[in-house]
Structure 1
Amino acid sequence: MRELLIVVDMQNDFLTGALGTPEGQAVLPGVTALARDWAGELVFTRDTHTSDYLNTQEGKNLPVVHCVQGTEGWQLAPELDALAKERGCKVFDKPAFGSTQLAHWAAMEHAREPFARISLVGVCTDICVLSNALLLKAALPEVPVRVYGSLCAGVSPASHTRALEAMQVCQVEVV
């Protein structure tokens, strides 16, 4: 059986842009190394908004324009973008925290050829990593879902830790 690695939202705006954090920047080398060495299936997600972001529910609750499709901030970090293109990886553009499209695709792929495990890394632990891990766990309850905690970064160190704890309670393995 194969293994799937999902690199969540490692985009410029979450690293050095509008919502960038030192913690996000700090995990980039490790995420890149894991993705580069990954022998199984590798996919990426991109937080994707339009120019009317501030008029959306998310934009009203987080009024920081970020990851507008086609902008530099929306692009994956250069080293990950190059890897995704080199390997022809699937990239899921998601308009919300979690991607139902990703969960559906994973379920269809699992039916075709089972996954032994699904792993996630990326940002933000407490928003998009958490949302996608739980969607995948709901879509594929018998497939082990793992999050590399040291290769994720949250909005803050405290919320990162809380998110990892919440995922563990939901039977997501945190390593």
Structure 2
Amino acid sequence: MSTITQPRALLIIDYTNDFVADNGALTTGQPGQIIEPSIIKLADAYIAAGDYVIFPTDLHTANDAFHPESKLFPPHNLANTWGRQLYGHLTDWYTKHQQDDHVYSFDKNRYSAFANSNLDNYLRSRHITDLTLTGVCTDICVLHTAVDAYNKDYTLTIPASAVASFNASGHAWALNHFEQTLGANVIR
């Protein structure tokens, strides 16, 4: 008797130059840079297993007075800029796999990858209920995506070695929140 396993999805959230590179506009710096090997290892494992790798990536336009982030943060992840490109070796990984039908990339304009996007439809149409969240920032976009996923009844895993923030206390708080409040499996 064979068992059919449900596909899983790895979300690589906002892993761009502006959020990770030393000279990024809103960089996590070294904490973001050291998670790169973990993210790539996970992406390789998900593709090898026939699972999905999804890239929800922040997109902004310069001088957008109507976007709430414009009041909170300097301009970042602007359309058609170096800052919005994937960071480091993840660029090569994406270039190699972008034509794979199990790799999906989309623009997002809010912290949560679910806000104003078709992510929920994409996942449900593929019978995906198990999500692993990686990327930056642990206590902003990863957190808001996790809260929305929880509210939509997805099962969550967050590898601590694959998320980072520019705020160490916020990062620690978010890991605890994932585990204690959202019931996520936080791999430490």
Q: TM-score range by the shorter chain?
A: 0.7 to 0.9
With structure 2 as the length reference, what TM-score do the two structures score? 0.82
C-alpha RMSD over aligned residues: 2.0
In our comparison, the structure showing a higher alpha carbon Rg is: 2
Structure with more helix by fraction: 1
Q: Which residue of 2 aligns with 1:18?
A: 25
Are positions 1:135 and 2:148 aligned together? Answer: yes
Output the amino acid matched with 2:133. Answer: L
Contact 1:66 1:73 in 2 (8 A): yes
Residues 1:8 and 2:13 are matched in the alignment:
yes
Match of 1:118? 131
Instruction: Identify the residue that residue 113 of structure 2 maps to in structure 1.
Output: 99
Q: TM-score, normalised by structure 1?
A: 0.88
Q: How does 1:1-175 map to 2 (within 5 A)?
A: 1-16=6-21, 17-20=24-27, 21-38=29-46, 39=49, 40-53=51-64, 56-62=67-73, 64-88=74-98, 89-100=103-114, 104-110=118-124, 112-115=125-128, 117-139=130-152, 141=153, 143-168=154-179, 169-175=181-187
- Give 1:77 shift: 1.5
* 5+ long unaligned stretches in structure 2: 1-5
1:79 CA displacement: 2.1
SS in structure 2 of the partner of residue 36 of structure 1:
helix
Query: In the aligned structure 2, how far is the partner of 1:79 from the partner of 1:54?
Result: 34
Q: For structure 1, which runs of at least 5 residues remain unmatched after alignment?
A: none
Q: How big is the shift at 1:130?
A: 0.5
**Identical columns (%):** 27
Q: Give the paired residue count.
A: 171
The answer to whether the 8 Å contact 1:54/1:65 transfers is no
